[in-house]
Amino acid sequence: MKKFNKYIFLPIIFLLLFLLLIYANKIPLYDDEPTHFAQINLFLKGEYKLIEGISIIPSFHFFIARTARLFGFRTLNQFRLINFFFTFLNITLFYLITMKLKSSHSILKTLQFTFLPILFPYRFLLYAENLSVLLILLALYCALTGRKFTSFIFSSLSVLTKQTNIVWYLFILFLIYLNNGSLKINFRKLPEFMKNNWYFFFGLIFFGIFVVTNRGVAVLTQKMHPDFIIKPGNLYWMLFLFFILFFPLNLKNISAIKPFLLKNKKLLIPLFLFLFVAVITFTSDHPWNQNPEHIRNRIILFFMSNSFWKVIYLLTVIFSLLSLFFTELININYYWLYPFTFLSLIPIWLIESRYSLPFFVLFNLFRKSASGKKELIQTVYFIILSLLIYWGYLNQQFYL
């Protein structure tokens, strides 16, 4: 009976989300959906060519098209329904991982994942985010349960869904390597590890071949997604989002940050230096970041409007860095999430909230839970933000 009670909340969540899907289906093709819809329809017709504007390998579109053909689906809402199925799977899997990690307040954390504001609207729309997150979680779950080859399969599929997931492919591989429970890297054991996990390294070679033959990571939009650049805009944006999204938990960390800075006043020097460098390097010059229909662009353009607001924006970034420093994770190996997040964001020109999704999903899995009351407040806060964003999408007020 106790086990039954643990899982009863899942069908309640699914029912609520399904009702929200029904209302969301009133929305016509939205933002990037026309491109995805057109690509799926091409595959349904048996025409295996790429639509202009596609930047990802069309594995997501191929899967939706094959499933649609199996069930005789042809409409936008039917395609959305197929994609919505991934929501059920990734929520269930997230809960199973919290149980595997022996996380306290697993139900509240799962609710936070369900209502993660920057993911929530895409649960109902024709986007690859649901599938991408699902595959990363599957790869992680298999890695945690010792199924390394299966983890490799799902990691590879995640890269086929979104090429930027190659960083999370490497992260999963690195977690498998660090199975001794410490941060120490033993280079003497590296050849043996490579031999035992050769398929992961072959996957990296194949990805390299793809990048060379494709002349870039993006498929048809290389000019908008150039390779081998350094742009900190997404890193600043992710930290700004962290400040906003985890505001209730960030408030808790003020009690630790304030005395720490008072005790270590010399630390203010590198913080001011970081602020100085950030003011210089904080730019938003991508053509797709100029459209005010996207709420992220409105926010960024506002803070870019003058030096005062730019400094305010970057102060939230600094606060987020300090807050992350005082946020304890459940295992020392999981602190590697931060350098891999840096690697995933720093080479991307377009500032886009979805690039930060893997970080926020994994961070919420890996962080130690606060008290039940504080986790409940964080959960309610996420729900309110998500429903506000859902309302904005339903009434076509903005894009994320």
For 238-280, how does the pLDDT look when each residue is reduced to its tens digit (9 = 90+)?
999 999 999 999 999 999 999 999 999 899 999 999 999 999 9
Q: Is the pLDDT of residue 186 over 80?
A: no
Asked if residue 180 has pLDDT above 70, the reply is no
Interatomic CA distance for residues 333 and 387, integer angstroms: 34
For residues 14 and 326, what is the distance between their CA atoms, to the nearest angstrom?
34
pTM attached to this predicted model: 0.95
pLDDT greater than 70 at residue 181: no
Per-residue pLDDT reduced to its tens digit, 324-354:
999 999 999 999 999 999 999 999 999 999 9
Q: What single-letter DSSP state applies at residue 294?
A: B
| Domain boundary assignment for the chain | 131-227, 229-369
Q: What single DSSP character describes residue 163?
A: G
Q: How much is the pLDDT for 183?
A: 55
The predicted pLDDT at position 30 comes to: 87
* pLDDT bucket at 189, cuts 50 / 70 / 90: confident
The per-residue pLDDT of the chain, averaged, comes to 93
Cα separation values, 244 from 15, 117, 247, Å? 28, 10, 5
Q: What is the pLDDT of residue 109?
A: 96
In Å, how far from its chain's centre is CA 287? 23
How many residues are listed for the chain in this entry?
Answer: 400
Closest CA to 396 of 86, 38, 13, 26: 26
**How much of the chain, in percent, has pLDDT values that exceed 70?**
97
What percent of the chain shows pLDDT beyond 90?
Answer: 81
What does the pLDDT read at residue 184? 65
Torsion, Cα 359 363 365 369, to 10 degrees, reads: -160
Task: Dump pLDDT digits (tens) for 48-105.
Answer: 999 988 999 999 999 999 999 999 999 999 999 999 999 999 999 999 999 999 988 9
pLDDT value at 4 more than 60: no
Three-class SS string for 29-40? CCCCHHHHHHHH
**Residues forming beta bridges with residue 6, ordered by sequence position:** none
